[in-house]
């Protein structure tokens, strides 16, 4: 993805391929909303992301991490780095602004990871690809990708074994995920406040770690139970 108005800018990029002898290699991709409506939740987002990475560092197997922050544009702050080399997110990285170009962020990131995996030599390809999407509002700013294009790409990659998790606030996350081709059991609606944000990131960590540690298709809906209970208990 080139550095242009429509393509994510890239920091902390790694050109080194994982070792061919890695026991298990996962591509873990975070697509995180930083639009203006996330104001007031900066520290919760930063803390939740960093805590999730710390959980993953404790697992066996190789893991490369990509992190995309999106508003009107998408910015890649971490591009396929080995997880041991990923620095914690800071307030300098996560500054809220602008609108919500979710389709461009997700569509462009899938295209990038797909191309990388396609041209990787055997022994270096990821055995598992996991996308984590977290947003607090409706898509309203994309110019490169449509819902139909993103849905087609998600469905294609799910058929190839990729996994997607979708957490959304201030929207019907299950319906929005469905429009993107992500099934109901991989989506949950959370509350956009301090408790809700913490609960959402706990669920993200639980689900993505389970996907790396066991058969992803078997995790069911239990991972999102606490998020849905919190939303029912405290939501309007």
User: Mean pLDDT, 10 residues at a time, over the chain (236 residues)?
Assistant: 43 44 79 97 98 97 98 97 98 97 98 96 90 96 98 98 97 98 98 98 96 80 96 91
Both tokens assigned to 180:
């993107």
DSSP E strand stretches across 40-127: 62-70, 74-82
- Judge contact between 101 and 139, C-beta under 8 A: yes
| Domain-wise residue ranges, the chain | 9-234
- Judge contact between 109 and 142, C-beta under 8 A: no
What pLDDT shows up at residue 11?
A: 52
What is residue 33's three-state secondary structure? strand
What pLDDT shows up at residue 103?
A: 98
Residues in the chain: 236
- What span, in angstroms and rounded, lies between the C-alpha atoms of 36 and 137? 10
Alpha-carbon separation of residue 28 from 82, 97, 206, 212, 232 (angstroms): 10, 25, 14, 9, 30
Answer yes or no: CATH 2.120.10.90 is held by domain 9-234.
no
- What span, in angstroms and rounded, lies between the C-alpha atoms of 168 and 191? 8
């Amino acid at each position: 993805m080139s550095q242009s108005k429509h393509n994510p800018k890239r920091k902390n990029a790694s050109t080194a391929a994982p070792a061919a002898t890695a026991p298990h290699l996962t591509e873990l991709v975070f697509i995180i909303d930083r639009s203006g409506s996330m104001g007031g939740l900066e520290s919760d987002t930063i803390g939740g992301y960093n805590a999730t990475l710390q959980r993953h560092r404790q697992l066996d197997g190789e893991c490369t991490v990509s992190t995309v922050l999106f508003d009107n544009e998408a910015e890649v702050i971490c591009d396929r780095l080995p997880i041991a080399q990923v620095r914690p997110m800071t307030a300098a990285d996560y500054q809220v602004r602008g609108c919500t170009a979710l389709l461009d962020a997700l569509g462009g990131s899938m295209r990038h990871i797909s191309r990388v995996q396609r041209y990787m030599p055997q022994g270096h390809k990821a055995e598992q690809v996991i996308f984590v999407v977290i947003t607090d509002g409706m898509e309203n700013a994309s110019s490169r990708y449509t819902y139909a294009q993103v849905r087609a790409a998600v469905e294609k990659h799910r058929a190839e074994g990729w996994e997607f998790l979708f957490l959304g606030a201030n929207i019907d996350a299950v319906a929005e995920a469905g429009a993107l081709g992500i099934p109901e059991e991989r989506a949950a609606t959370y509350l956009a406040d301090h408790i809700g944000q913490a609960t959402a990131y706990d669920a993200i960590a639980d689900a993505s770690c389970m996907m790396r540690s066991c058969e992803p298709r078997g995790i069911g809906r239990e991972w999102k139970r606490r998020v849905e209970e919190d939303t029912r208990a405290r939501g309007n």
